[in-house]
Amino acid sequence: MKLMRLGPVGGERPVVRLDETTYVDVSDAFADFDEAFFAGGLQPLRALIEERTAAGDVRTFGDERVGSPIARPHQILCIGLNYSDHAAETGQQVPAEPILFTKSPNTMIGPNDDVRIPRGSTKPDWEVELGIVIGRRTSYLDSVEEARDAIAGFVLVNDVSERAFQMERSGQWSKGKSAETFNPTGPWLATTDEIGDVLSLGMWLDVSGVRRQTGSTSTMVFDPYAIVHHLSQFMVLEPGDLIDTGTPPGVGMGFDPPVWLQPGDVMELGIDGLGTQRQTVLGPR
């Protein structure tokens, strides 16, 4: 299944995408794709979709705004330097275990919403990433294999970053990751059965028509299952939590000289099987 949310900011309703033109509205049966929904498992939704598609209860996409496919999560967790080729471009060692930082949950926006550069920013950057959505309350997993059952699905995210805040303002990386609009998410959440091999997905990102990132999940240092298993040893993961799993090479800070986002730039990005995003970059408020 491909879970989506359509409608204005704060008024999104849950739907399931059938193909490029049609979907099934499930907002009368499920309040939202939120913590309570994921905690209840995906089978009730599967049954409803089968029933409604058989009955022809199908709608056609119009020009409605596409929101993030999940409601605001309990937490957004992020893994740093998780692509071997990205670590190389930044001149840093491949980590021995996942590097963890967080983003504020209110950074989440829709896949085509505007991204706003924060006040005082001098080095805003982009990062196409695979996101993991947790499907059940999880802690102290016994094995990497067990982590597979804890994942509801995968999603495309843009881990927008402010490198001066991140690297030059002391403390941990969260300062450079948590400005408003810094986590465009979607357009859909693909349940795990929709993705054949999560470690063979092509990834790309353009800035104003120039290809900046081209990569593949095949160069991930820690795969999604290893990440979930690892994090479960340190914290409780809640249903609907989002994990951003790192980016391939081609970020702005990796160029010589570096290339930073400017007001008016347009970011376009995608991952195989997870759709595409498009954001216009706005200046500070």
Question: pLDDT tens across 155-182, in order?
Answer: 999 999 999 999 899 877 899 999 999 9
Which of these ranges, 14-28, 86-100, 132-146, 216-230, has the smallest mean pLDDT?
Answer: 86-100
Which residue, chain included where needed, has tokens 């330097």?
81
Query: What pTM was estimated for this model as a whole?
Result: 0.96
Q: Is the pLDDT of residue 86 over 80?
A: no
Q: Is cis: bond before 224, omega within 30 of 0?
A: no
Q: Is residue 67 part of a domain?
A: no
Q: Is residue 65 part of a domain?
A: no
> In this structure, are 44 and 82 located in the same domain?
no
> In this structure, are 102 and 202 located in the same domain?
yes
Q: Is residue 69 part of a domain?
A: no
> In this structure, are 166 and 234 located in the same domain?
yes
> In this structure, are 175 and 247 located in the same domain?
yes
- The residues near 188 (Cβ < 8 Å, ≥ 6 apart) are 2, 3, 4, 17, 69, 155, 274, 275
Cα distances from 32 to residues 10, 13, 68, in angstroms, run: 11, 6, 11
Q: Residue 138 in contact with residue 236, Cβ under 8 Å?
A: yes
Question: pLDDT tens across 194-253, in order?
Answer: 999 999 999 999 999 999 999 999 999 999 999 999 999 999 999 999 999 999 999 999
> In this structure, are 136 and 257 located in the same domain?
yes
Q: Residue 237 in contact with residue 231, Cβ under 8 Å?
A: yes
> In this structure, are 246 and 192 located in the same domain?
yes
Work out how many domains the chain is built from and give that number: 2
> In this structure, are 156 and 44 located in the same domain?
no
Q: Is residue 260 part of a domain?
A: yes
CATH number at residue 258: 3.90.850.10
Question: Last residue of some domain: 60, 90, 105?
Answer: 60
> In this structure, are 244 and 150 located in the same domain?
yes
Length of the chain: 285
Structural domain containing residue 145: 76-282
Q: Is residue 71 part of a domain?
A: no
Q: How far apart are CA 166 and CA 173, in angstroms?
A: 5
The residue type at 79: I
